[in-house]
Structure 1
Amino acid sequence: MGIGVSIFFLTVGAILKFAIDPDVLGSAVHIDIIGVIFMIVGAAGLLISFFLLSRRGEISDTEVPHRENHPPTI
């Protein structure tokens, strides 16, 4: 899940939690709880995305052997 999808989940979760009446679908479905779950999933995805993004720039300590530029042999 990328940063954009995580922000989308956070936004949808906040809308479901704070902007919609909890009893809009009846007492069997709790929209506010679904919103909280979406916000938790979005926050977790955002943290994981930032963690993986910070690791993307690391360089390993292994040495790459030097290759000379030779024309390909036929």
Structure 2
Amino acid sequence: MGIGTGIFLIVVGAILAFGVAPDTWSVADLNVIGYILMGAGVLALVLSLVLMRQRTRTSHHEVVERYDNRTPPPAV
């Protein structure tokens, strides 16, 4: 899940929670489904931002081994 997925879930949840009349569909309460989708969207957005920040703090080190002519390199 990325930032776009989180924003999409928030938007769809807001439409269901605030834009649809409560008695539109008698099988399930669309307002509650909207709130659940908004919560999942916020969670996805926060998780993607945390994971993205964690990736930027990693560092890569290059290790170079040098061998002079007196000692042979180790056998592989």
Q: TM over 0.5: same fold?
A: yes
TM-score bracket for the superposition, by shorter chain length: 0.7 to 0.9
Alpha-carbon deviation of 1:59? 2.6
What's the % identity of the aligned pairs?
Answer: 36
Q: Aligned letter for 1:13?
A: G
Q: Aligned letter for 2:24?
A: V
Q: What residue in structure 2 maps to residue 16 of structure 1?
A: 16
Alpha-carbon deviation of 1:65? 1.2
Q: How does 1:1-74 map to 2 (within 5 A)?
A: 1-26=1-26, 28-60=27-59, 63-66=61-64
Instruction: Show structure 1 runs of 5+ residues with no match.
Output: 69-74
Instruction: Show structure 2 runs of 5+ residues with no match.
Output: 67-76
CA distance in 2, matches of 1:19, 1:56: 37
Cα RMSD after superposing both structures:
1.9
Alpha-carbon deviation of 1:63? 4.0
- Structure 1 length-normalised TM: 0.79
- Which of structures 1 and 2 has the bigger CA Rg? 2
Q: Aligned letter for 1:42?
A: G
Give aligned pairs, total.
66
